Amino acid sequence: MPPKLPLPPTTDEQSPSDGSIDSARPALPSVNDESSARQTAASGLVAGITPGDSQPGAVLPQDSAPARPTVRRQPPTRALKPGDLVCGECGEGNQPTRKFCGRCGNSLAAADVVRTPWWRRLLPRRGAKVRRSGERPRNRRGKSKLGAAFGAVFRVTRRVVSAVLVIAGIAYGISGDFRSWVNAHAIALEQDVEGVVLPQYAPVAPVEITATSELLDHPGASAFDGFSNTFWAAPAAGPEPVLVARFAQPVTLSRAIIRTGARDEFQARHRPHRLHLVFSTGRTADVELKDNPDPQQVDLADGAGVTSVEVHVVSLYQSVKGTDVALTEIEFFTEQ
């Protein structure tokens, strides 16, 4: 009795063990073997296997298999420094002078360079300075230790101030509240600075004006009336014309603005050239004027504690056909 072959479960169920079927089964495999052999021979050209030949046959062109990555990306083994080249394959950090990765051997031609973050550039540098190949230190001859220290402090200060200005500028651009706060304080600061750099002047008006000589229509008071279309006029032929201005209390005269001549008929009358000021304190000041109708500013040095001032017309710019001298306005100011 031949050994019983394991049968598929379907046949097993169909027929219990009986000899007639069992003997017919072994014939089937032989037929199957022949057909499969023929099949193999027919498809041998495509598969590249010729029956009974161990040599490989012709192969149709195929795409080359992609190279399998042999390296895995891993964290670098050393702390990355600015300028380091980061390997694109394995992620290792390499010194800038290297051409190939020290860990995986890949080319570093297209490697990423580690950049210095912007905030680090603002901070003072620590540790030894690393120079590029061929870079030389600047000539520091003649620079004292104190000078070097001052320079270092200045550099740090400059960086900090720049950073603060940048941040403040961004805040100014973004926040409306901050903007209005800055504007309000900037105006106050501007006024403070003006007070220090540009002193403020307040006008000082005399309470009584007399002139040693004056034309009827052009009294001395016209020189202090605040109008530029009225003027004081005095005959040039007589004695030296003098204006006297009195103040209610002692004042410090620090500046005068003078308009000379008669504005609307400038050439028709003489114009004062030199004025001699005599203060009630006994001090004096000499003022030289230009021959034009524009306001002329004069700073007075010795006008402290003055209760009155005499303005003597010492010399003239001559008018061709004029007979008297004209002066439009004198304004006195005290510094606050």
Chain residues that interact with Zn ion, rule: CB under 5 A: 87, 89-90, 92, 101, 103-104, 106
Concatenating the DSSP letter of every residue in 241-259 gives PEEEEEEEEEE---EEEEE
- DSSP per-residue letters across 273-300: EEEEEEETTS-EEEEE--SSSS-EEEE-
Q: Which is nearer to Zn ion, 113 or 171 (CB)?
A: 113
CB of 114 to Zn ion, least distance (A): 15
Residue with Cβ nearer Zn ion (86 or 298): 86
Query: How many Cα atoms sit within 13 Å of 258 on the Cβ side?
Result: 24
At closest approach, how far in Å is the CB of 106 from Zn ion?
A: 5
Minimum CB–partner distance for residue 67 and Zn ion (Å)? 16
> Minimum Å distance from CB 144 to Zn ion?
49
Which of 44, 102 has the CB closer to Zn ion? 102
- Give the span between the Cα atoms of 174 and 171, in whole angstroms: 5
Nearer to Zn ion, 104 or 316 (CB): 104
Question: CB 68 → Zn ion: shortest distance, Å?
Answer: 16
Buried b vs exposed e over 188-220: b needs ≥16 C-beta within 10 Å? eeeeeeeeeeeeebeebebeebbbbbbbeebbb
Q: For CA atoms 268, 270, 272, 274, give the dihedral sign.
A: positive
CA-closest candidate to residue 300, choices 317, 283, 280: 283
> Which run of H or E residues covers position 37?
helix 27-42
CB of 116 to Zn ion, least distance (A): 23
DSSP SS3 for 184: helix
Of 89 and 331, CB closest to Zn ion: 89
**Which of 69/282 has CB closer to Zn ion?**
69
Residue placing its CB nearer to Zn ion in the complex, 90 or 233: 90
- Residue 120: other Cβ atoms inside 10 A: 11
Q: At closest approach, how far in Å is the CB of 89 from Zn ion?
A: 5
Label residue 128 exposed, middle or buried (CB < 10 Å: 0-12, 13-18, 19+): exposed
Classify residue 148 by burial, with Cβ atoms within 10 Å: 0-12, 13-18, 19+: exposed
